[in-house]
Structure 1
Amino acid sequence: MNARDNPEISLQPTPLPPSSPFYASRGVTQDDWEEAEFLQRLIHAAERYGKLPDRGLPATPDSEARLVYATEFAQKALAKHAGTKGVNYHRNHTAPTVEAFNLAVARYRKCGNHPLALIPEDRWLSPIPGWDGHMLAVTATLGVELPHPQARRDQESLRLAVKFYESLQFTLGPKSAKLYRAYEKFIATANNYLPANLHHTTFERRVIEQLAAWFPALSTGVSDIPASSR
């Protein structure tokens, strides 16, 4: 059996567990998520027709034809996935241009193949204060400045948290309770020197552990953590 017989065989496990027929991240609509799921399946389907460089496909008629075939199988895969959740999926997707596809591939690869990197870019411009941690990580990794001040502070808080974990994970272990307690103390101390409206957000332990492992590039550009603060 090959990809032409079964489009699902090209798919890697979706890294975020669906809480409903389609995963809904805070700040992301179901339509956004369905678009991301389609693009994820499109990328994996395109890979079955030949090597897919990180920079994407060349702008040739062959690439356009490849995307038409990949779109057909990506839609079948998405409909099959929806069917396992008891949902009838009837959205029709057209093959993207090579340029649009390559932009999606670049975002997806930069974020460690995270599907939320594939939601429509205009969603990132919504003035939402309380983004999901994964969306904060995706937008921060891609260098997207979220419009709401609280969202931007959360992005910076997440970068700082990942940097702190990096500074001590080899000493205390990347998933140790002691490391998380040190992180909580560090944020509390830092906030003592900031006005209340500029306080860093303290993220849950499971969020930090997961995102620090998935998005190590988040710490790029963050000042080194002073040893006395750890």
Structure 2
Amino acid sequence: MGLQTPKSRLTVAIIATVLMLGSAVASKALAPTQRMAARYAGVSLETLIPREFSGWRIDDSIIPLAPDPTTTAELASLYSQTLSRTYVNASGQRVMLALAYGGDQSRELQVHRPEVCYAAQGFQVKDAAKVTLQSAFGTVPAMQLVARRSGRVEPITYWVRMGDELVRGNLEQGIARVRYGLGGSIPDGLLVRVSTLGDDTGAQYELQQSFVQAMLSAVKPDARPYLLGRPAGAAS
């Protein structure tokens, strides 16, 4: 390789500077700016899910445990709204419902899946599997898993909405986030989790499926996309 003259070095420096500036401008131009959360600005989790529906009502005798201050601070940074309730039916069966909504699903702020949250609280998380729930409003891609700690056995069913679609696992979340970003959108996200207590996981999952069907039917039609997203081509 020959020696560079001062003039050639100057030319290389100018080209490198132009390329860096061009990259910075392109990055800024491609940065997503449209927040999908704006579509749901008026939605409140407290009123989204009825307090009583299809034989289920809130069990006021069950007070959800408050997380420690560190966890509380982390939740506040991730989610703009959260909801935690326990429902009971006439047979005394109970289902715990938790919703967590975040308006900005960037990598740093994306919703935390139960596999991560339960493990952080000392639970052993096993038998995680992708499932498809049936509902009167179409199929719901979801996850099921079992969390165990000190004799407590908690089967869990949950799904995650990112923007207009339901995603399962880090890979699907990441692909959706990139796809929305390339389209100029910042997706919002919602975690919907139902869980029960009991060793018979098959029976518990059936109970959860029944609860989910009843809950989705009880939600107002115009608010249902908040829980399930919108099929491709549907009106916003």
One fold, TM greater than 0.5? Answer: no
The structure whose Rg is larger is: 2
Normalised TM-score (structure 2): 0.23
Where relative contact order (Cα < 8 A, 6+ residues apart) is larger, the structure is 2
Q: Which has the higher strand share?
A: 2
Q: Which has the higher helix share?
A: 1
